[in-house]
Amino acid sequence: MNQNQVLQTGTTTVGIIVKDAVIMATERRVTMDHFIMHKDGKKLHQIDTHAAMTIAGLVGDAQVLVRYMSAELQLYRLQRKVNMPLEAASTLLSNILNQSKYYPYMVQLLVGGCDTAPHIYSVDAAGGSVEDIYASTGSGSPFVYGVLETQYTKDMKIDEGIDLVIKAISAAKQRDSASGGMIDVGVIDMKSGFRQVPTEEVMDRIKKLKLQV
């Protein structure tokens, strides 16, 4: 299996910028080729009070990077009494991956959060880092982009954005066999930082939007 096949296996993640906030979401299915390894895998991770990551690719590689980034961002905040800027965080992650490109971490990651403004960065296994207003990774990403291209607007409110990422992940789950299970949603806003949307609220929104679980 080549690197591109590994990176495109078994995940759907999304991050979008809305008014004064970033919203990130994933599904929970973890696969190994065509086998479902876990039904409740954690792919959305808070890495500091103002930042989060989503993971796609090899679970072990991704978890190591989440732990590393969490430690670095929290140490930066403790030492300097301010949060690490999101551009600096994405650059740090990019440098780690680029230095290992000859024995690469098989991952595709999103880093999002708020400093002086909301930011979303997509970071690939070779260390390429691209900022955008929305991004998606994993095998279900084409279906996510189909929803975002037609329904996303920059001036969306947080409530509208939560509904949109749920719609996008749900669309991927219906057509991508490697994506499934419950949807996790996190919101990072300019005032309050990171919060995880309760599962019960996500379920209520799925029912309200008349989506398949």
Tell me how far CA of residue 170 lies from CA of 11, 13, 26, 58, 104, in angstroms: 12, 11, 10, 22, 31
β-pairing, 129-132 vs 51-57, is unpaired
d(CA 176, CA 164): 18
pLDDT at position 43 is 97
| pLDDT the model gives residue 75 | 98
Cβ neighbour number for residue 95 with a 10 Å cutoff: 12
Known catalytic residue: 11? yes
What is the per-residue pLDDT for 4? 40
Give the pLDDT confidence score for residue 82 in this predicted structure.
97
What domains can you pick out in the chain, each with its CATH number?
Answer: 3-208 (3.60.20.10)
Euclidean distance between CA atoms 97 and 13, whole angstroms: 19
Q: pTM value?
A: 0.93
Structure tokens at 134: 């929305």
CA distances from 48 to 74, 82, 125, 179 (A): 6, 11, 22, 27
pLDDT of residue 12: 96
Which residue in the list 9, 11, 31, 137 is annotated as catalytic? 11
Q: Give the pair of three-digit tokens for residue 144.
A: 């996510």
Q: What is the pLDDT of residue 5?
A: 39
pLDDT in tens, the chain (213 residues): 344 433 345 699 999 999 999 999 999 998 887 788 889 999 999 999 999 999 999 999 999 999 999 999 999 999 999 999 999 999 999 999 999 988 899 999 999 999 999 999 999 999 999 999 999 999 999 999 999 999 999 899 999 999 999 999 999 999 998 899 999 999 999 999 999 999 999 999 999 999 987
Cβ(169)–Cβ(27) below 8 Å: yes
pLDDT of 9: 52
Position 187, amino acid: V
Q: Which two tokens stand for residue 29?
A: 């299915």
**Count of Cβ atoms closer than 10 Å to residue 38 Cβ:** 13
